[in-house]
């Protein structure tokens, strides 16, 4: 983990990976969306509304994966004092919040024709909304952090405590009688027809690569900003 603790080593790896993830993600998303919109048939119950899953499912996955990344980075900062952990956590927050908002919006659009309502305060919807608020709070705390390029200890603790919401999101449809359906894809198999399912792999992987590209770009920007601040501070002290 400490092999790339040096910002210079990290940047040498991050520059080419940003392009690879960005281009690869865009191609996979294009393939998956084209297949999902053009090649797959309508669902026998939901009709064409089912096609929202090719955006909604990746967004839901990345909203939770994003906070998982914040929690892991926060743990690395608090326990191992990894030099780039705070930078990584701060970089994850904005795309994580973005995909959480996309998840809520696409879920509401999907819910209207399938459930007859855009919103209901059930366990899954409410816990994902709480996750969006957690992201907003984290971004606010990180922005006010006095740590150059990183985040404060308080912000890191907040990132760890916020992870309590992740199992609530995951198991909410099992713990409570909710409007949101049970998981369609599990280790035992999928409840989604194979003719509808296969493009989802492209969009999930594509949006994951895109998330990685955004993360690397933000980390590079944060490190560049910290370098500029340090240089200006030295000039002011001279």
Q: Please state, in angstroms and rounded to a whole number, the distance separating the CA atoms of residues 140 and 137.
A: 5
Could you list the residue range(s) of the whole structural domain that residue 74 is in? 17-35+52-181+196-237
- Residue 5 carries which DSSP code? -
142 by Cβ neighbours in 10 Å (0-12 / 13-18 / 19+) ranks as buried
> Does residue 44 belong to any structural domain of this protein?
no
**In this predicted model, which residue has the larger pLDDT, 6 or 226?**
226
Q: Would you say residue 160 lies in a domain?
A: yes
| Number of folded domains that form the chain | 1
Q: Note the pLDDT tens digit of each residue in 101-156.
A: 999 999 999 999 989 999 999 999 999 999 999 999 999 999 987 666 788 999 99
Sorting pLDDT into bands at 50, 70 and 90, what band is 235?
confident
Is residue 223 in a domain?
A: yes
Q: Which two tokens stand for residue 20?
A: 């690879």
* Tokens read off for 119: 């919103």
In a domain, 114, yes or no: yes
Whether residue 177 lies inside any domain: the answer is: yes
Q: Residue 196: which pLDDT band, with cuts at 50, 70 and 90? A: very high
Tell whether 4 is covered by a domain: no
Q: Is 67 in contact with 162 (CB distance < 8 Å)?
A: yes
Q: Domain for residue 73, yes or no?
A: yes
Average pLDDT, the chain: 91
How high is the pLDDT of residue 96?
98
| Residue 60 counted as domain residue | yes
pLDDT at 1 over 70: no
Asked whether 58 and 203 are in contact (CB, 8 A), the reply is yes
- Write the pLDDT tens digit of every residue in 54-103: 999 999 999 999 999 999 999 999 998 888 999 999 999 999 999 999 99
């Amino acid at each position: 983990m400490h092999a790339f603790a040096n910002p210079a080593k990290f940047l040498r790896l991050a520059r080419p990976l940003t392009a690879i993830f960005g281009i690869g993600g865009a191609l996979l998303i294009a393939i998956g969306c084209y297949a999902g919109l053009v090649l797959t048939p309508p669902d026998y119950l939901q009709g064409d509304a089912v096609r929202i899953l090719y955006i909604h499912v990746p967004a839901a996955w990345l909203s939770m994966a994003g906070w998982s990344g914040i929690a892991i980075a926060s743990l690395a900062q608090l326990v191992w004092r990894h030099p780039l952990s705070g930078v990584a956590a701060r970089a994850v927050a904005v795309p994580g919040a973005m995909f959480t908002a996309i998840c809520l919006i696409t879920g509401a659009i999907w819910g209207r024709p399938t459930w007859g309502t855009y919103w209901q305060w059930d366990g899954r919807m409410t816990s994902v909304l709480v996750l969006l608020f957690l992201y907003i709070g984290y971004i606010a705390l990180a922005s006010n952090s006095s740590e150059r390029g990183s985040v404060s200890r308080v912000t890191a603790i907040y990132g760890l405590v916020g992870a309590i919401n992740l199992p609530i999101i995951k198991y909410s449809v099992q713990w409570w009688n909710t409007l949101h359906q049970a998981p369609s894809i599990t280790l035992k198999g999928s409840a989604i027809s194979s003719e509808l399912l296969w493009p989802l792999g492209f969009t999930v992987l594509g949006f994951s690569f895109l998330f990685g590209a955004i993360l690397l770009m933000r980390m590079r920007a944060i490190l560049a900003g910290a370098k500029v601040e340090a240089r200006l501070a030295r000039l002011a002290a001279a």
